[in-house]
Amino acid sequence: MSEHKNPYPGENNTGHFWDDEQDVRELNNRPPRWYMQAMMVGVVAIVIYSFYYPSIPWFGDHYKGAAGWTQITEMDESVAELKAYREKRFAATEQAIADSSLEDIVRDDELRTYSIKTARTLFADNCAACHGAAGQGNAGFPVLADDDWLFGGSLAKIEQTIINGRKGNMPARMLGITDAEAAKLATFLIETGKGAQGNPNPADKVLYLTKGCIACHGPTMKGNQMLGSANLSDSIYRFKAEDQHASVVRTILHGVNNPIDPLTQDAVMPAFGHSSVIDAVQLKKLVVYVHQLGGGVPVGPAPKKAVAVLKNLKYTPVVAKSDLFADVIATAEANYKKNLDQKAAWRDTAKIIKNAKKSKDVALATAANTQAVNALRQASIAASASPSF
Ligand code: HEC
Ligand code: HEC
């Protein structure tokens, strides 16, 4: 450090050198003009930004900004925009659902898929608390995603269930059944439900037959969908419990929805059709959704419509250029000529044309043309029918 001599005199450096060769050094130049200008623009932008948007913190609150902007209002606006977009984008589909029968919705790929997708949230909001997020059921609430139905899995039955609600009824202690008999009967039912693996005591079947169970659950124990009485011949329990035997005994002794018995099994499906919770279109979507969850009674193909033939007319009629008399009468004459060519003319078409020409009446000319077009349709159908002669 003996030098103290600047090897670059007049260079406007600060005299600091960073290496032994003294060529890496610190200069003292002004920053470039563009850089300074950009910085000034930045400073101005900060002032405008702080004025326009919420900024300076101030004793537990902050300056709210001239624009009134908040993240919440921005989100609300985006949500409203999205909602408006959806309403516009899907208005036609929503209308089609409103206009279609449940069967037609299920048959139509687009309407069915759209219903299922949009019903998912409806189901989560209104049904999942009881029936489980995927319709898998909960203790006391039936599974909707299988083909074991209390009240029926056709579209019409599911619709009725959701509109009117359901409330199955089973009396308590049928025909004075005793606790011991109830326990035996429960074992018999559970063993029967196991099918080939089960080991029911045939002697106990007498209880089933003589204690009135048969009236509602039927001779084959399969239940009755008119009553919503459960199928007792399978191992699917509508009142599923850890101790299934105890639960079945409870059902037998205390019944279902028995208003005077505090131990009765509760089973009330609320009615959604008479509330404002879901509208008519949402109801249809939910019916289709539950039907498609699994186990819905299949929907057959649409009935064939007879109009198909008319679409492919063999002899196409001429169409009038306008409603003016001259055009209509010319069209009627052209179609009538086609009738004659096909030997399909109706007897009085010629007469009507003649009268129309005399009176210059557009209505008459139109009537003549309609008749000629109809005659052509007949000729077309006759020609496409088989066998042809
Ligand atoms: C408060 C609980 C609850 C809510 C909410 C509820 N359900 Fe139910 N649901 C039930 C009960 C309980 C039953 C059985 C009624 C019975 O056994 O008598 C049932 C039965 C049904 C059935 C008949 C099942 C069968 O096997 O025949 C369908 C379908 C159904 N619910 C659909 C729905 C739909 C769709 C929603 C939503 C819009 C819904 N439920 C909301 C409790 C509920
Ligand atoms: C008046 C008609 C009626 C009679 C009689 C009746 N039940 Fe029921 N039972 C029902 C109905 C309805 C249900 C289903 C209730 C519901 O889910 O809403 C049911 C449900 C049950 C269940 C529950 C099944 C499950 O899946 O969890 C059992 C078990 C049962 N009944 C056994 C019997 C036995 C045993 C008898 C004779 C002692 C009997 N029932 C008599 C109507 C009847």
| CA 308/CA 237 separation, integer angstroms | 49
- For residue 164, the ligand closest to its alpha carbon is 1
**pLDDT for the residue 129:** 94
Kindly list the protein residues whose Cβ atom lies closer than 6 A to any atom of ligand 1.
126-127, 129-131, 141-142, 144, 149-152, 158, 161-162, 166-168, 228, 267-270, 272, 286, 290
Identical fold between 93-168+267-303 and 169-265: yes
pLDDT, tens digit, 9 for 90 and up, residues 214-244 = 999 999 999 999 999 999 999 999 999 999 9
Identify the helix (H) or strand (E) that includes residue 27.
strand 25-27
Residue to probe by mutation, ligand 2, list 148, 216, 254, most atoms within 8 Å of CB: 216
Residue ID of nearest Cα to ligand 2 atom 43: 170
Q: Which residue has the tokens 């609600």?
A: 165
Q: How far is the CA of 250 from the centre of ligand 2 (A)?
A: 11
Q: Which residue has the higher pLDDT, 385 or 201?
A: 201
Q: State whether the beta carbon of 238 lies less than 6 angstroms from ligand 2.
A: yes
Q: Which ligand is nearest to the CA of 208?
A: 2
> What pLDDT, on a 0 to 100 scale, did the predictor assign at position 311?
55
Reported pTM: 0.69
209-243 burial code (b ≥16 CB/10 A, e <16): eebebeebbbeebebeeebbbbbbbeebbbbeeee
User: Which residue CA neighbors atom 2 of ligand 2 most closely?
Assistant: 216
Per the CB < 8 A criterion, the answer to whether 232 and 224 are in contact is no
pLDDT at residue 370 is higher than 50: yes
Q: d(Cα 151, Cα 158) in Å, to the nearest integer?
A: 8
Given the structure tokens 């001429």, which residue do they identify?
A: 318
CA distance 352 to 347: 10
How high does pLDDT run on average in the chain? 90
Quick one: pLDDT band at residue 306, thresholds 50, 70, 90? very low
d(CA 64, CA 51): 9
Point out which residues pair with 25 in neighbouring strands: 17
Confidence of residue 309 (pLDDT cuts 50, 70, 90): very low
- Specify the residue with its C-alpha closest to ligand 2, atom 7: 170
Residue 378 CB neighbours (<10 A): 15
Domain ranges for the chain, please list them. 93-168+267-303, 169-265, 308-384
How far, in Å, is the centroid of ligand 1 from the Cα of 140? 10
**pLDDT score for 315:** 81
Q: Is 314's pLDDT higher than 80?
A: no
Q: Tell me the CATH architecture of domain 169-265.
A: Orthogonal Bundle (1.10)
Percent of the chain with pLDDT over 70: 95
Q: Under DSSP, is residue 277 helix (H, G, I), strand (E, B) or coil?
A: coil
For the 93-168+267-303 domain, the top CATH level (class) is: mainly alpha
Q: Which residues contact 165 (CB under 8 A, 6 or more apart)?
A: 268, 269, 270, 271, 272
pLDDT digits (tens, 9 = 90+) for 37-67: 999 999 999 999 999 999 888 888 888 899 8
- Report pLDDT for 22: 84
Average pLDDT over residues 294-303: 84
Instruction: Inform me whether the pLDDT recorded for 82 exceeds 90.
Output: yes
C-alpha 193 – ligand 2 centre gap (Å): 14
Nearest CA to ligand 1 atom 8: 269
Q: Answer with the residue of higher pLDDT: 344 or 305.
A: 344
Nearest protein Cα to ligand 1, atom 19: 269
Q: What is the pLDDT of residue 386?
A: 57
The pLDDT-based confidence of 154 (bands split at 50, 70, 90) is very high
Question: Ligand 2 centroid vs 256 CA: distance in angstroms?
Answer: 7
Q: What is the pLDDT of residue 389?
A: 47
